[in-house]
């Protein structure tokens, strides 16, 4: 792989910045392009075949434009639906997906009761349920599909207030008491959700471990890239939005993450 080419990080919105943040820690020398499909946000309610076709067409354009050495699909909904299709369609470009961290949750739980906090799209995927069957068969697993949390995270990142009562209501189904045991791990199965972590801790009915897969994804990316010991890439990191629009708060956020805004991805 040509190390002058960027690493492309993709999400439906700006939640994938939680993954990119960890990649920058492990790969400070790399050049990144971040693409938010805000024109299609949120993905949770899309019909599967329509979303799959949309993603294949969009990545066809993105790979031609940016010629990345590797793509990170920093979106659980897109990954659980289409990561294998993307790998088949574009075999010359490695793809790293983002899937619910059910296996590590099952390994780490003390109570045997875990929750997976995701979008409705991720919860209904056969891929997600196969992970539960394969790795958490001895656990009680509550799958919770929130329709509001990703939008709450987008608002919070832009400095807007979040309705704490509504936030508490969204996560309440995660907290299960069963046979004198109760939820001790909540898997954050949407890359938007780690940006709400401090608020989630405040409204949780009891303390739990919130499992964020971003560091594991960053390690996987590092393992797939050549270790050539080169200096930090002088090229500016770029962020693009498929809508061609970004408000002032979003541009300020991107600037804080060190990105040069590009109007259309």
* CATH number of the domain to which 76 belongs: 3.40.50.1860
CA-closest candidate to residue 116, choices 18, 188, 207, 204: 188
Distance CA 11, CA 67 (A): 17
Measuring CA to CA, how many Å separate 255 from each of 8, 36, 252? 18, 15, 5
Encoded tokens for 92: 């010359």
Q: Indicate whether 148 and 80 sit together in one domain.
A: no
Which one of 168, 188, 211 terminates a domain? Answer: 211
Instruction: Confirm whether 226 is domain-assigned.
Output: yes
Q: Indicate whether 113 and 196 sit together in one domain.
A: yes
Percentage of the chain lying above the pLDDT 70 cut: 95
* 154 vs 10: which has the higher pLDDT: 10
Q: Indicate whether 73 and 111 sit together in one domain.
A: no
On whether the pTM is more than 0.85, the answer is: yes
CA-closest candidate to residue 10, choices 180, 200, 239: 239
| Active-site position among 71, 75, 139, 174 | 75
Quote the domain boundaries for residue 172: 102-211
CA-closest candidate to residue 86, choices 127, 64, 58, 122: 58
Is 192 annotated as ligand-binding?
yes
Is 111 annotated as ligand-binding?
no
Distance CA 106, CA 217 (A): 18
| Active-site position among 71, 93, 174, 190 | 190
Q: Indicate whether 202 and 219 sit together in one domain.
A: no
Q: What is the pLDDT of residues 152-177, one digit of tens each?
A: 998 998 889 999 999 999 999 999 99
Is 43 annotated as ligand-binding?
yes
Is 4 annotated as ligand-binding?
no
Q: Indicate whether 245 and 227 sit together in one domain.
A: yes
Residue 230: its pLDDT value, please?
58
139 is catalytic: no
Instruction: Confirm whether 1 is domain-assigned.
Output: no
Percentage of the chain lying above the pLDDT 90 cut: 75
Encoded tokens for 75: 């979106």
């Amino acid at each position: 792989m040509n190390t002058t080419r960027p690493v492309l990080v993709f999400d439906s919105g700006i939640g994938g910045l939680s993954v990119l943040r960890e990649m920058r820690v492990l790969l400070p020398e790399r050049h990144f392009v971040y693409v938010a499909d805000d024109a299609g946000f949120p993905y949770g309610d899309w019909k599967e075949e329509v979303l799959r076709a949309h993603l294949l067409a969009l990545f066809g354009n993105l790979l031609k434009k940016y010629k990345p050495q590797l793509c990170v699909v920093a979106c659980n909904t897109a990954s659980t639906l289409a990561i294998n299709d993307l790998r088949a369609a574009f075999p010359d470009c490695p793809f790293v997906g983002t899937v619910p961290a059910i296996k590590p949750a099952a390994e780490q739980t003390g109570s045997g009761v875990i929750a997976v906090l995701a979008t409705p799209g991720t919860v209904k995927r056969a891929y997600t349920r196969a992970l539960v069957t394969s790795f958490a068969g001895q656990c009680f697993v509550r799958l919770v599909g929130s329709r509001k949390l990703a939008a709450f995270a987008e608002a919070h990142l832009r400095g807007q207030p979040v309705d704490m009562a509504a936030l508490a209501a969204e996560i309440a189904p995660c907290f299960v008491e069963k046979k004198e045991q109760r939820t001790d791990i909540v898997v954050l199965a949407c890359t938007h959700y780690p940006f709400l972590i401090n608020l989630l801790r405040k409204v949780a009915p009891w303390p739990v471990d919130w499992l964020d897969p971003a560091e594991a994804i960053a390690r996987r990316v590092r393992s797939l890239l050549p270790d050539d010991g080169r200096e930090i890439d002088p090229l500016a990191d770029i962020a693009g939005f498929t809508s061609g629009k970004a408000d002032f708060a979003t541009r300020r956020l991107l600037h804080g993450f060190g990105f040069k805004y590009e109007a259309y991805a």
